[in-house]
Amino acid sequence: MISEQVANATLNLPDTPGVYLWKAADGTVIYVGKAKRLRARVRSYVTGDDLSQPKTRALMDIATAIETIVVPDEQSALMLESNLIKEHRPRFNILLRDDKSYPLVKVTVQEPYPRVFVTRRLIDDGARYFGPYTDVGAMWRALNVVKRIFTVRSCRYDMPTDMPERACLDFYIKRCKGPCVGAQSARDYREMIDEVVAFLAGRTDDVMRRIRERMAQASERMDYERAAELRDAVGHLAQIEEPSAMVDVGGGDRDVIGYARDGDDACVAILVVRDGKLLAREHRLLEHVEDASDAAVLGAFMASGFLAREDRASEIFVPFEFSDQALLQQVAPRGVIRVPQRGQKRELLDVADQNARHLLEEFKLEGMEADERAADPVYALGRELGLQKIPRSIVCFDNSTSQGKDNVGAMIWFENGRPRRAEYRTMRIRSLTEDGGPDDFTSMREVVSRYFRRRLDEAKTLPDLVIVDGGKGQLSAASDALDALELAHLPVIALAKREEEVFMRGRTEPLRLARRSAALRLLQRARDEAHRAAVTYNRKRRTIRTVTSELLRIPGVGPSRRRALLGVFGSLQGVREASPDAIAAVPGFSRKTADKILQTLRSSDPVASGTPAPATESHSSDTEPAS
């Protein structure tokens, strides 16, 4: 319940841009948001549609106070929101997981004699920061290259104010050229730092070109010792470049953003492309994203500091447009944000998405068997349908009937895109229309209702996605069954055969997936498998009914004798082909009865089915395991 104090506090807010902070009873900040008009935005938490979201209702149940900060414009509100989220890490905001744990490489370019070292604090002091590095090994490899090729000082003197009396050991082993004792000029040292910055930014070709120019100049001056040092540096850089994967996207610098989500977690992967070469991969995990849209999650990542990074590329590829994209572009105008649709650029974006999926799986399934990993089509299906949770488990329903008889339903289960046959179920459908025949919509409602009622009674896991074979009518029937069981939160869709259209709750128009898409192929596989299971069970029921009707026509053969015959001979055809002595040997049968049975069966037409029938006539359980 929203307290009266909170409701009243929202009445007197200014109608200007700003940031608002919801607080709990102990003063803890539990949510930070921005607004173009504070009064209207905050009032929506109390009176608007926001309360339809479970996350918002939970927030308002805890919130006891609100604080607002007025700023000049919407761009300022965006940046202030990002800073406050990092400061308070509110429980209801989308958060970068372990945001403060990733190291950065800092180059103190604001100093006369810059230093290069590792830090975990990002502050606005004029220095250049590279990272954060999620792969710490890659960071140390980069630093080792800097130490090996460039003679950056490792001391902490505040030069030139604080100068040592003599050079340290690095000078004598040629790890430093001694700017502290005047052996290297400030200009020469600054040129070297420029090359370090270019190298850390991924512009290795620029660094090699500069070093070659200086090597030629040293050779012209006949400073052959210096030329040899520069030659060795070029050789080391060439070795570093060799294993770099080539990306044929026309050269240039790009950051390619891949995205994946599953439930309350999401992952963003960044492929770092410089001069057309794929140099590195970074990633960030985000939490508290369950009730947020994909656009909001990606927008939160971009606003949290990525667009403010000095080492980002001039061109950024993203998988889709995100929240506040135009506003963020104004705040951080350097660089162009694009959503590639086709060609090599789209393929590179697909690689980034695949990396994000892999990294999220590593996080979600750490310690589990490899077979538990979700396949790529499962992620594709979740993205195409706009699901908040990856549909790892899918159940699909189909019905089958034979000329109005043997009306049955089948349910198949896919786990991570693969059939899980132990979870298959079949059932005989009981519901009939007023004229005594089956109705597909009524049958679908019954099958879905009985299946999920039993699953709830047995406290079994519910699927992430429900699929029914059919169109709007079947979708409506399945939705009614789920609503009656208070399972309206389960995503349910219908797949129509003719045009392969996907019907979804809340959408008037069907969704048409690309014919070759992995998502559509997964849906088709599930639909076809459910159809196969339903038809197979229908044939089984028809065989049982046919056998039963044939044996019932034999005088003196009741239910007990009928079961005994099927138990010994397996099928009606087996009884027909048995000898009189074999039938007479069955308990309860005499030679006279055996002759009568064989005379009746052999005088009638043979049943057009050689399929062995089961030994029992029917099952008393609500659902049966499917074959």
* Band (307; pLDDT cuts 50, 70, 90): confident
Q: Which residue has the higher pLDDT, 52 or 611?
A: 52
Rg (CA), the chain: 36
Q: Helix (H, G, I), strand (E, B), or coil: what is residue 194?
A: helix
Q: Which residue has the higher pLDDT, 106 or 51?
A: 106
Average pLDDT for 115-134: 82
Which domains does the chain possess? 4-93 (3.40.1440.10), 254-364 (3.30.420), 385-537 (3.30.420.340), 541-625 (1.10.150.20)
Answer yes or no: are the C-beta atoms of 381 and 523 closer than 8 Å: yes
Question: What angle do the packed helices 440-457 and 472-484 form, to 10 degrees?
Answer: 30
Q: State both tokens at 389.
A: 């949770």
Answer yes or no: are the C-beta atoms of 397 and 469 closer than 8 Å: yes
Give the predicted TM-score (pTM) of the model: 0.57
Indicate whether 319 pLDDT > 90.
Answer: yes
Answer yes or no: are the C-beta atoms of 395 and 463 closer than 8 Å: yes
Average pLDDT for 357-368: 70
> What pLDDT was estimated at residue 453?
94
Lowest-pLDDT choice from 309-318, 361-370, 580-589, 609-618: 609-618
Over the stretch 419-456, which tens digit does the pLDDT of each residue have? 988 899 998 888 765 555 567 888 899 999 999 999 99
Answer yes or no: are the C-beta atoms of 286 and 267 closer than 8 Å: yes
Q: Which residue has the higher pLDDT, 455 or 126?
A: 455
> What pLDDT was estimated at residue 590?
86
- Determine how β-strand 315-317 pairs with β-strand 336-338: parallel
CA nearest to 14, candidates 38, 42, 48, 49: 38
What sign results for the dihedral spanned by CA atoms 56, 58, 59, 61? positive
Lowest-pLDDT choice from 39-53, 279-293, 430-444: 430-444
* Band (367; pLDDT cuts 50, 70, 90): very low
Q: Which amino acid makes up residue 145?
A: V
How many residues can be counted in the chain? Answer: 627
Answer yes or no: are the C-beta atoms of 552 and 589 closer than 8 Å: no
Mean pLDDT of the chain: 81
> What pLDDT was estimated at residue 242?
46
Q: What is the DSSP letter of 422?
A: G
> What pLDDT was estimated at residue 626?
61
Over the stretch 575-586, which tens digit does the pLDDT of each residue have? 878 888 888 888
What sign results for the dihedral spanned by CA atoms 176, 182, 183, 189? positive
Over the stretch 249-260, which tens digit does the pLDDT of each residue have? 566 788 999 999
* Band (552; pLDDT cuts 50, 70, 90): low
Indicate whether 321 pLDDT > 70.
Answer: yes
> What pLDDT was estimated at residue 318?
94
Answer yes or no: are the C-beta atoms of 559 and 599 closer than 8 Å: no
Percent of residues, the chain, with pLDDT higher than 70: 85
> What pLDDT was estimated at residue 555?
63
CA nearest to 320, candidates 291, 292, 294: 294
Q: Please name the helix (run of DSSP H) or strand (run of DSSP E) that holds residue 67, with its range, or none.
A: strand 65-70
Cα distances from 144 to residues 209, 240, 624, in angstroms, run: 21, 12, 64
Residue whose tokens read 């590639």: 340
* Band (310; pLDDT cuts 50, 70, 90): confident
3-class DSSP string for 519-538: HHHHHHHHHHHHHHHHHHHH
> What pLDDT was estimated at residue 608?
35
